[in-house]
Amino acid sequence: MPKTRGNFWSEYEVTVDSNGKEKYTCKTCSGTWSKNASRLKEHIEKCKDINVETETSQPQGTKRKRQQTFDEYKFAFTSKDQIILESLLIRAFTQRLSTPKPLFFKATAFKEERHTSENIALGLETTMKDADINKFGAIITDNAPNMKAA
């Protein structure tokens, strides 16, 4: 004896697509589904719940709220709040601008000269003069004895 059909089937209209497969269209929301009883039953339960909520939550004759612009909020801050906000913004910008950032200026390869401390010191001095000597906070080199002497 075949199983009895659930009562949710009456909530769908049956159509056949171009491939010859049955499709079920929900009478409530017009959604199209393949033949899968558990999913169709699950959908119709959710679909009916949504429709019940929307019907009860929208009272008739209510007016839409007027959209507000930023102009209406110009007096939301007191002058004291505005002064505090401006000082915080100034502090944030000045901190960002005054924070030193590492900068790679030049890599030099000493091929023709020997790696003596005098040659290295001369190369560092000319590079610092080219980049304005007051801008240097540190010079990073390797741990060679000639670099330390320079």
pLDDT band at 63, cuts 50/70/90?
Answer: low
Going by pLDDT thresholds of 50, 70 and 90, the confidence category of residue 125 is confident
Distances (CA, A) of 18 to 31, 33, 53, 81: 18, 15, 36, 67
Question: CA 117, CA 150: separation in Å to the nearest integer?
Answer: 5
Kindly state the average pLDDT of the residues 61-88.
Answer: 73
Report how far residue 40's alpha carbon sits from residue 42's, in angstroms, rounded to the nearest whole number: 5
CB 148 within 8 A of CB 121: no
Q: Which residues, listed in sequence order, are joined to residue 34 by a DSSP beta bridge?
A: 23
> In the structure, what pLDDT confidence band is assigned to residue 10 with cuts at 50, 70 and 90?
confident
User: What does the mean pLDDT of the chain come to?
Assistant: 74
Q: How confident is the model at residue 9 (pLDDT cuts 50, 70, 90)?
A: confident
Place 106 in a pLDDT band, splitting at 50, 70 and 90: confident
Q: What is the pTM of this model?
A: 0.32
Rounded to whole angstroms, the maximal C-alpha distance in the chain is 104
